[in-house]
Structure 1
Amino acid sequence: MGAAVRAQDLISLAHSRQAGDRERLLLAVTDLCDGSPDSRRPEVQSLLDNVFMALVVEAERDIRRALAERLAEADWAPKALVNVLALDEIDIARPIIAKSPLLRDQDLIRLLIEATIEHQIEVARRPALSARVVDAVIDRAEPAVLTALVGNPSAEITEGGMRRLVESSRRIAALRSPLARHPKLTRLLAEQLYGWVGQALRTAIADRFRIDSDALDQAIAEAVRAAQSGQSGEERQVLLSRDGEREEMERRLIAKLEAAGQLRPGYLVRALKERKLSLFENALAALGGFSITDVRSAIDAPSPEPLALACAAVGIDRVVFPTVLSLVRELNAGRPYGSEAGRAILSAFGTPVGVAADHFRQAIAGGASARV
């Protein structure tokens, strides 16, 4: 009798043209399938595909979110529907990406290619992520997604993958702290990472791997001195000549520091304190992967927001930015103008480094379009 009544209820809901009834039908069918062994039969699966897809198209956002939560761990759910929900708004997609047993490696890689940064971050956080998907994340080299991956201890990161992540940490400061604590970090990679981190992380690495920090610090210092004094006497004479040639020498110096693993955010402040604005510009461009033209546009902008975005993208802390801005203004006739405490500035330092880099490029492009 109860089953008959339930069937009659479903038929009534199916005949109704009210939006609320269609949504109730969707959840009722979900309940029915969840407890039925027949829901896994191929002919039933085919029928469910059609029923669910027809209903989901008209479902409101809250219903889609509730459905995603209900289907996140269901192994009977229609695969096409799971993939549609995985590409939906991130609040809807999140439980599906995190838990669905129906998402295969190729589905997750598709999300890395087609979906938003937020979706890609959820893929990187997925428990027991396979080596194939891990390699796809590393190949794409999106800073925020790489940072999420390094924070996922259950991801299947191979030795080669760890090596690539440590190498990426040279330019992506956010990777360094989680890498220093990662269970798969080897002693050899730890010694490489040691040269790119601050003092607190150096101490942690030295304690964990029993590294002779004094000897390693001396080796790094010698590499830096070699990089900084590697110009010949003739090169140093050229450095003092024309501006364009001086900047070329600065770029060479930065390339040597980068190769030695010593080009870090702190070097930007040092360059400004030494009153070398051009050196600061070239170092910021190298650290962020920006063009020197875009960096100079930020420094000459009518607002400090683009410069804040560039600084956030290379790992400069928000509390350091007022010092950077003040030093830049001293060397650049007061530009960029505006307050360093505005909402946009605070927002810049609240976004992942990869997103800050994208916003920086968009801000510069928008400024250029406005000037045209």
Structure 2
Amino acid sequence: MTALAQISPSRTVEPETAPLGELLTLARSRTGDDRQRLLLAITSLCDTNPPADEISEVLGEVLLMLAHQVERDVRRILAERLARADWAPRALVNMLALDEIEIARPILSSSPTLQDDDLIAILVQATIEHQIEVARRPSLSGRVSDAIIEKAEPATMTALASNRTAEISPDGVRRLVEHSRRIAALRAPLTRHPRLTDALAEQLYQWVGTALRQAIGARFQINEDDLNVSVQQAVDKAFRNSPASVPITENTEFEESERRLIAKLHAADQLRPSYLVRAVREKRLNLFVHGLAALGNFSVAEIRGALRAGSPEAIYYACAAVGIDRSVFVAMINEIRLINDGAPGTYGAQVWLRGSISASSAARAFRALAHDNSPAGV
């Protein structure tokens, strides 16, 4: 790695040869440029002489503090430098891994510091782009692969199926093949997957196209005459019985992680209506449920009940109560239906067309509907 850390045309720091006095001068400075130079200088010195265990914790706190103070271009350079550093402080690496994707990408793809727990947390907390990078990570563990399959995000599972070095259990491959009934993008990488068995190849064969059937036939002994008799019936049955989306789940490891994330954002006053809209767009329905409940001071059960109702009226009032603009509601409810088995239903009046409603009135209307829809009015 080069020793040069060019920050501005006026000054260059050479960390390996920089005298201690210059580093101390940078440390005493409060200017943004000097903070950046100090961060990259210390990083380069650690690359040359990795810190001993007894100072690594203190060093990690210093680097983390500096990283919070610098601009995105410097964080990007820092992420590239730390991507393969086994001495890198875990807290700093995790901060960079959750940064915007252009900064996080080298960390997610290569950092030896990230542990399975870190990667699973990223699958819950970060964007779909971050999740895809995790799924592409070389030599991904079986535990993280299982977490990706459990989450059932199509793009992330497709990236996992294309990752030949990922550890995937036989049951994990079976579940990917099952998902390929509704996710066409999974079929091609699964056809070539080294862990595809004869039995799973026959199952996959039933719902792929001609080109992929030929690819499967080249790898496995498929009795095409026997299979072709029932292929169309099997495909029809598979699509009839397969859910079109992933509905709300309860009591899962992911939901608990998402609940904790929402609680943390809410406590820090960082939970905004726009975050809930984004959660729906990223198909993270449990995150939307817990976020809407927290922002509106509703119960999770009330929100889940509204999302299963025959009419979208209750969920509209809940959204209006927390400040989600009615202009985005129609698009949002359609996205919710795509990931929630078509619910809520379309019965009832389109109340969002009646004009604006105050947050307090919307909250009262939601609670009234939630009470009416609960068992025995409770």
- Please give the range of the TM-score, normalised by the shorter of the 2 chains: 0.5 to 0.7
Aligned counterpart, 2:115: 104
Partner AA of 2:46 in structure 1:
C
Check whether the contact 2:97–2:108 (CA below 8 A) recurs between aligned residues.
yes
Instruction: Give yes or no for the alignment of 1:371 onto 2:353.
Output: yes
Aligned equivalent of 1:130, options 141, 165, 174: 141
In the superposition, relative to structure 1, how do residues 91 and 185 fare at CA in structure 2: closer, same or farther (>3 Å)?
same
Residue 161 of structure 1: aligned partner? 172
Tell me what 2:231 maps to. 220
Equivalenced residues, count: 249
Deviation at 1:285, TM superposition (A): 10
> Measured at CA, do residues 133 and 56 of structure 1 come closer, stay the same or move farther in structure 2, by a change above 3 Å?
same
1:336-347 alignment, distance < 5 Å:
none
Structure 2 distance, partners of 1:152, 1:67, is 27
* Equivalent pair of 2:182/2:242 in contact (CA under 8 Å): no
Tell me, yes or no, if structure 1 residue 21 matches structure 2 residue 3: no
Distance 1:370 1:6 in 2: 66
Q: Distance in 2 between matches of 1:369 and 1:183?
A: 53
1: CA distance between counterparts of 2:216 and 2:185? 16
How far apart, in 1, do the equivalents of 2:141 and 2:208 lie?
Answer: 29
CA 1:183–1:10 in 2, change beyond 3 Å: closer, same or farther? same
Correspondence for 1:114 among 125, 129, 146? 125
Provide the C-alpha distance between the structure 2 equivalents of 1:177 and 1:152, rounded to a whole number of angstroms: 12
Higher gyration radius (CA):
1
Aligned to 1:10: 23
**Partner of residue 280, structure 1:** none
Question: Counterparts in 2 of 1:175-190, with a 5 A limit?
Answer: 175-190=186-201
Q: State the distance in 1 between where 2:163 and 2:242 align.
A: 30
Gaps of 5+ in 2: 1-14, 248-333, 355-378
CA distance in 1, matches of 2:214, 2:17: 70
Map 1:83-94 → 2, pairs under 5 A: 83-94=94-105
| 1:31 pairs with 2:44 | yes
**In the alignment, does 2:67 pair up with 1:56?**
yes
Shift, 1:3, TM fit: 8.0
TM-score norm. by structure 1 comes to: 0.61
After TM superposition, give the deviation of residue 42 of structure 1 in Å. 2.5
Relative to structure 1, is the Cα distance of residues 13 and 70 closer, same or farther in structure 2, using a 3 angstrom cutoff? same
Q: Relative to structure 1, is the Cα distance of residues 359 and 90 closer, same or farther in structure 2, using a 3 angstrom cutoff?
A: farther
Structure 1 residues 369 and 195: alpha-carbon distance in aligned structure 2, compared to 1, 3 A threshold: farther
- Determine what percentage of the aligned residue pairs are the same residue: 53
Q: Residue 170 of structure 1 corresponds to which residue in structure 2? A: 181
| Residues 28 and 46 of structure 1, relative CA distance in 2, 3 Å threshold | same
Change (3 A) 1:219 1:79: same
1-structure distance, mates of 2:46, 2:351: 54
The Cα shift of 1:85 comes to 0.8
Consecutive unaligned residues in structure 1, runs of 5 or more: 225-256, 264-282, 291-355
Change (3 A) 1:288 1:141: closer
Counterpart residue identity of residue 91, structure 2:
A
CA deviation string 1:10-62 (max 9, x = no partner): 1111122221111011100111111114x1x2221122122101111111000
Distance, in Å, in 1 between the alignment partners of 2:169 and 2:96 is: 30
Q: From the superposition, tell whether residues 370 and 361 of structure 1 become closer, same or farther in structure 2 (CA, over 3 Å).
A: farther
**CA pair 359-78 structure 1, distance change in 2 beyond 3 A:** farther
Distance in structure 1 (CA, Å) of the matches to 2:222 and 2:158: 25
CA distance in 1: counterparts of 2:170 and 2:53, whole angstroms: 41
- For residues 18 and 207 of structure 2, the distance between their equivalents in structure 1, rounded to whole angstroms, comes to 68
Q: Aligned pair in 2 of structure 1 residues 157, 29: CA closer, same or farther (>3 Å)? A: same
Distance 1:180 1:70 in 2: 37
Query: Following TM superposition, by how much is the alpha carbon of 1:361 offset from its aligned partner in structure 2, in angstroms?
Result: 6.9
Which has a greater percent of helix?
Answer: 1
Q: List 4+ stretches of structure 1 deviating above 2 A.
A: 2-5, 283-290, 356-362, 367-372
Tell me by how many angstroms 1:158 deviates.
1.1
SS in 1 for 2:19: helix
- Code of the residue aligned with 1:25 in structure 2: it is L
Contact map agreement 1:288 1:357 (CA 8 A) in 2: no
- Name the CA shift for 1:130/1:201 in 2 (closer, same or farther; >3 Å): same
1:43 aligns with 2:54: yes
CA contact (8 A) 2:80 2:107 kept: yes
Q: 1:146 aligns with which of 140, 157, 174?
A: 157
The match for 1:322 is none
Distance in 2 between residues matched to 1:13 and 1:289, nearest whole Å: 52
* CA–CA distance in structure 2, aligned partners of residues 69 and 58 of structure 1: 18
Residue deviations 1:194-252, cap 9 Å, x none? 1111111112212221312122111324x46xxxxxxxxxxxxxxxxxxxxxxxxxxxx
